[in-house]
Amino acid sequence: MSGSRNGRSPRSVALVGPYSSGKSTLFDALMEAAGAAPKRPADPRNRPMTTEVRLGHCTFLGDPWSILDCPGSIEFAHETEAALAMADIAVVVCEPVPARALTVAPLLKMLADQGIPHIVFINKIDTLEGSIGDTLGALQAYAGSPLVLRQVPIVEGDKVSGYVDLMSERAYRYRKGKASELMQIPAAMLEDEQQALGRLVEVLADHDDALLEKVLEDMKPTPQELYRDMRKDLLAGDVVEVLIGAAENANGVQRLWNALRHDTPHAIETAIRKGIDGNGSALAQVFKTAYAGHTGKLSYARVWCGEIKDGATLNGARLGGVYRINNGADLTKVPNASAGDVVAFGRLEGIATGAAVSLNGSPVAFPFPPPPPPVYAMAVQTTDRKDDVKLFGALQKLTEEDATLTVSQDTDTGEMVLRGQGEMHLLSTVERMAKGFGLKLRTEKPRVAYKETIRLPVHEHGRLKRQTGGHGQFADVKIAIAPLPRGAGFAFVDKVVGGAVPRNFIPAVGQAAEEATKSGPFGYPVVDISVTLTDGGFHAVDSSDMAFKTATHLAMKEGLAKADPVLLEPVDRVTVSVPSEFTARAQRLLTGRRGQILGFAERGGWPGWDDVEALVPEADMHDLIIELRSQTMGLGTYRARFDHLAETRGGEQRRGAA
């Protein structure tokens, strides 16, 4: 297959960046420039949000490529991380707006932490206002390595009309939808161009003694020397190359392709970076799972070494097809996949996303990004109860496709609850169930699992005496109900003396007392109480387990109502992570949701970010992530876990909850 096309191993590039930066438009432009025009929307401005990786194969100047168009929304960030684990290089797409540089910060940090070579492509350069240096400086504040600007925009009037390539010292004029044409460097730019070139050379000379010697001797390096050093430093993570363009007009796309051809590591270099023997036996890693109609299960994978043929057995599962994606959408079946290829394996049953697969079935486990914890929940149910079984099957497939999606049956409320990365994430899941499985669902805010307890100890008498012909029913119980410390649960104590209640009926009393805690005066489970059987009476003929259970239920109902019942609500321990400039805003947001701020500190390993810790009632947590993101440029997130049950504040809230 492609692994041996023209003797060149396929390389893989991931397009990443914030939502609306233009990644999908750049994907289309790159594919079109390679002669593999993808299916474009009728109006690119109305392009739907990318919610999953779009894979395309193409060949550019004889080199085979896989391009991964990754989602920009933070709600689908795990999809992006999984794709990056397979890429040789990443292109970080951003806008020429200094104020939006912060939105790129998490990506730049992740790429630096994981040692993934990356290029920054400043898109929409035709909308540039002010200096490109302002945007570069804003981005540099969040980059782990020096950003090296390779191109200087040519500004004529108030429009960007082209660029000067610093390494070749050539100028090009943009042409909409076409390759740029060569032009003379404007005389007014010559001084600025030389200064920018000097800065580029100085950064590269920091990592090359020979180049530094030339600089010190005031000798001008050749373009070939600069190209060589740029690739070397980029792969080592010492620099980040910066290019400019406008993907919608195809401006700068050819220059980006040329940089990718020259600077992208080969598959074997990436394998070595990941600790894989690139010359070993056939080995691949699954990074995405999808179910595609009649094709069935598809496992998207990168082949790191060797060759995998259709029909091969991988980790004990027989392969049911090898597929290429030619234009970002259509599957084409091929006979095999070779080192470097990114393909889809058909019907690889029992193989999970992230798994490494090989012909011998015993590969080492490769690192794979773990799914982030859920931050948003939604209760779902079918509009037709006949579809309940179908719903379980659909959810099983969707959770296999998407590791950030979880589903559970809440034991307290009885609801089926979906949890994920945000409102859009879960709404897109519901939409997929409608389109892919024909399931119509009702969605609503999940109910809070309130509990009840009591404040006062009480004594209660329960008596049952019925005579309806034949054997009657008789039982008499006296119980003491008392509060226990929070978290103690339920306790039953037998203190009957003298046989007032025969031993064989006492278990029935304990069982009934515990059953009565399932629904208290407010209709919620009662917790943290003890019930003590102190006395009672029986009839030799008419007493039975059922009679004592009924008498106990009567006593419990009356006693709980008299014991100053109070509603308890779950309280979560929440850690909100935000850029430091939004810390005060996050604190106000939490206190506005009845949160108790416990403190804040610098987020470990994240310079310029803070963690704010608080205790927040679960009733106020539902849409926290929506408001948090809206107030932090989409960057804020949180982790939460149940901490304790607490009395609801105020009688009005208790009555409202009840």
Give 39-54 as a DSSP string. Answer: PPPSSGGGPPPP-S-E
The amino acid sitting at 621 is: M
Q: Is 121 helix (H, G, I), strand (E, B) or coil?
A: strand
Within-domain flag for 322? no
- 416 and 491 both lie in a single domain: no
Q: Are the C-beta atoms of 123 and 15 separated by less than 8 Å?
A: no
Q: Please give the helix or strand (H or E) that residue 488 lies within, else none.
A: none
DSSP secondary structure code for residue 219 in this structure: P
pLDDT value for 496: 95
Relative to beta strand 118-122, strand 89-94 is parallel
Within-domain flag for 151? yes
Within-domain flag for 325? no
- 534 and 623 both lie in a single domain: no
- 425 and 480 both lie in a single domain: no
Q: Please give the helix or strand (H or E) that residue 308 lies within, else none.
A: strand 307-309
Q: Which of 563, 588, 618 marks a domain boundary? A: 563
- The whole-angstrom separation of Cα 437 and Cα 291 is 11
- 469 and 427 both lie in a single domain: no
Which residues in the chain show pLDDT less than 70?
Answer: 1-7, 39-46, 327-329, 362-363, 469, 650-658
Tokens of 75: 């709600």
Q: Please give the helix or strand (H or E) that residue 127 lies within, else none.
A: none
Within-domain flag for 115? yes
* Triad 410, 413, 414: Cα angle to 5°: 65
Nearest CA among 546, 619, 541, 614 for reference residue 577: 614
Within-domain flag for 290? no
Sheet strands (E) in 150-282 = 151-156, 159-165, 170-175, 178-183, 240-244
Q: Are the C-beta atoms of 621 and 574 separated by less than 8 Å?
A: yes
- The whole-angstrom separation of Cα 620 and Cα 424 is 19
DSSP secondary structure code for residue 246 in this structure: B
Q: What is the CATH number of the domain that holds 129?
A: 3.40.50.300
- 164 and 207 both lie in a single domain: yes
Q: Which of 444, 470, 503 marks a domain boundary? A: 444
Nearest CA among 221, 239, 230 for reference residue 261: 230
- The whole-angstrom separation of Cα 373 and Cα 406 is 10
Within-domain flag for 370? no
pLDDT value for 367: 86
- 74 and 114 both lie in a single domain: yes
- The whole-angstrom separation of Cα 557 and Cα 531 is 12
Q: What is the CATH number of the domain that holds 432?
A: 3.30.70.870
Helices (H), 534-640: 545-562, 583-591, 624-630
Q: Are the C-beta atoms of 316 and 351 separated by less than 8 Å?
A: no
Tokens of 439: 């399931």
- 157 and 243 both lie in a single domain: yes
Q: Are the C-beta atoms of 443 and 430 separated by less than 8 Å?
A: yes
- 139 and 170 both lie in a single domain: yes
Q: Are the C-beta atoms of 128 and 156 separated by less than 8 Å?
A: no
- 79 and 186 both lie in a single domain: yes
- The whole-angstrom separation of Cα 624 and Cα 159 is 42
Question: How many C-alpha atoms does 349 have within 13 Å on its Cβ side?
Answer: 4
Question: How many C-alpha atoms does 56 have within 13 Å on its Cβ side?
Answer: 27
- The whole-angstrom separation of Cα 109 and Cα 88 is 17
Q: Which of 538, 563, 588 marks a domain boundary? A: 563
252: alpha, beta or left? (left if phi > 0; alpha if psi -120 to 50): left
- 544 and 590 both lie in a single domain: no
Q: Are the C-beta atoms of 463 and 476 separated by less than 8 Å?
A: yes
Q: Is 520 helix (H, G, I), strand (E, B) or coil?
A: coil
Question: Which residue shows structure tokens 């009005």?
Answer: 652
Q: Are the C-beta atoms of 328 and 27 separated by less than 8 Å?
A: yes
Question: Which residue shows structure tokens 């419990």?
Answer: 556
216: alpha, beta or left? (left if phi > 0; alpha if psi -120 to 50): alpha
Task: List C-alpha distances in Å: 5 to 281, 344, 389.
Answer: 20, 18, 47
Helices 23-33 & 253-263, crossing angle to 10 degrees?
80
Q: Please give the helix or strand (H or E) that residue 298 lies within, else none.
A: strand 297-305
Tokens of 347: 């019907």
Tokens of 490: 């339920």
- Domain count within the chain: 4
Within-domain flag for 223? yes
Q: What is the CATH number of the domain that holds 467?
A: 3.30.230.10
Tokens of 143: 């980059």
Residues 6+ apart with CB under 8 A from 644: 486, 487, 570, 571
- The whole-angstrom separation of Cα 26 and Cα 20 is 11
Q: Are the C-beta atoms of 281 and 308 separated by less than 8 Å?
A: no
- 125 and 260 both lie in a single domain: yes
- 558 and 571 both lie in a single domain: no
Within-domain flag for 291? no
Q: Which domain holds residue 266?
A: 2-272
